[in-house]
Structure 1
Amino acid sequence: MAPQVLYRVIYGTPEPEPWQAERVTIRPAVLHEYRRQRVKHADFPAIVPKPSTTVRGAFITGLTDEDVACLDMFEGVMYKRQKVKVKLLKDVKLGDNIPDSKLAKAEGEEVEAETYVWRWPVEDLEDKEWDFEHFKKRKLKAWAGMVTDPNTSVDEGFADVDAYCAAVATSTRGGLSGGRGTGGRGSGGRGTANRSMLDREAGGRGTGGQPMEGQGGSVKGTTQRGVGNQAPRGRGQGAGVSMTG
């Protein structure tokens, strides 16, 4: 999950206030024994267990319980959040596109995290690696809500994610000032829970609609993400969440 998409989910905007961006830390990491594959007829990937393979992603800390609930909603029912062990990367920036052959030398501390693992049939996945660089160049702006071209379709699923997360913020923080997408969700309440996650560098939907194929927005296939009314999961389960990609 690119930072812009993460911010879009938890704050309602891909360009948060400085204090919001500083609340979470995003570090490059690698997950072993998993593979990242594209979901058929969709922009986004899924990770599945597979020996002798790795997934490059981002280790995210500082997430609150409500952030995790929003990410659960965003990822939808096709995924299950589970604990994994990941290796943090040393002297590597999040956007660095270093070859896999050099990853081993960059591996550092092993930490526990949570990530979203594909729970539906593997037949719904393409049998090849998902191309994150292609996603960043061709799809990222649409998924982060940064598209200004009226002819480019933006994933309508964020409307449900926004509504859900706004409701979570109101119920858990008593409606503190600062709405999502403007001034943030407030600075008190449960904002110090400090959850962490490993993100696989992908987008998610969390709605009942069909995914878009490309930025043009033509809809294909029958794969659906989420249900639009999913209850928050994993409250109070400790640290760990991240590795999308």
Structure 2
Amino acid sequence: MMLHNLFAYGTLQLPEITERVMGRALQGEPATLTGYRVGLVARANFPGIVPEATASVPGMLISGITQQELVKLDQYEGELYRRVRVQVLLDQMSCGAQPVATKCWAYLIAYWAQDRVTAKPWTLDWYRQQGIKGRLTYRN
């Protein structure tokens, strides 16, 4: 069985969200996606990432995702996002090593909706405080 890696930069960083979407809580390791920026999607409580050469997006690399779970994630993310292959840097700095690059899937805002990603920053802390109420109602 082929397993996949996913770069999560938004709500999928929360184990309670992955548990509701995929039926199991997933946790990852810190990673960074360079060449993109994260912002709050207009009229929403969730983030999107769009290309920006000098920016970077913090997140988590989640490993061990099955093909069936990817399908569930595609449904959760909806048409506003597209799943693409990206390269992220794993944060190895805590042990003094250089960052390690690895390929994985990530959900980027679809081309037609990139103008909906605002300049307002989106953080996991903000979501926990403000935005989580509407998103946790998702049921698989």
Query: Who is 1:3 aligned against?
Result: 15
Distance in 2, matches of 1:44 and 1:106, equals 33
* Higher fraction of helix: 2
| Number of residue pairs aligned between Structure 1 and Structure 2 | 126
- From the superposition, tell whether residues 42 and 141 of structure 1 become closer, same or farther in structure 2 (CA, over 3 Å): closer
* Higher fraction of strand: 2
- TM-score after normalising by structure 2: 0.79
- From the superposition, tell whether residues 116 and 137 of structure 1 become closer, same or farther in structure 2 (CA, over 3 Å): same
Q: Which has the larger radius of gyration?
A: 1
8 Å CA contact 2:38, 2:48 repeated in 1? yes
Distance in 1, matches of 2:37 and 2:68, equals 28
Gaps of 5+ in 1: 12-19, 93-104, 145-154, 163-245
8 Å CA contact 1:84, 1:112 repeated in 2? yes
- From the superposition, tell whether residues 143 and 106 of structure 1 become closer, same or farther in structure 2 (CA, over 3 Å): farther
- TM-score after normalising by structure 1: 0.47
The alpha-carbon deviation at position 53 of structure 1 amounts to 0.3
Q: Which runs of 4+ in 1 moved over 4 A?
A: none
Counterpart pick for 1:49 among 30, 51, 68: 51
Spell out the pairing of 1:1-245 with structure 2 (5 A cutoff). Answer: 1=12, 2-11=14-23, 20-21=24-25, 24-90=26-92, 108-119=99-110, 120-140=112-132, 142-144=134-136, 155=137, 158-159=138-139, 162=140
Q: Render the CA deviation track for 1:195-229: whole Å, top value 9, x for unaligned.
A: xxxxxxxxxxxxxxxxxxxxxxxxxxxxxxxxxxx
The alpha-carbon deviation at position 8 of structure 1 amounts to 1.3
Distance in 2, matches of 1:68 and 1:140, equals 22
Q: What is the SS of the residue equivalent to 2:119? A: strand
Root mean square deviation, CA, Å: 2.2
Structure 1 residues 106-115 or 71-80, which shifts more? 106-115
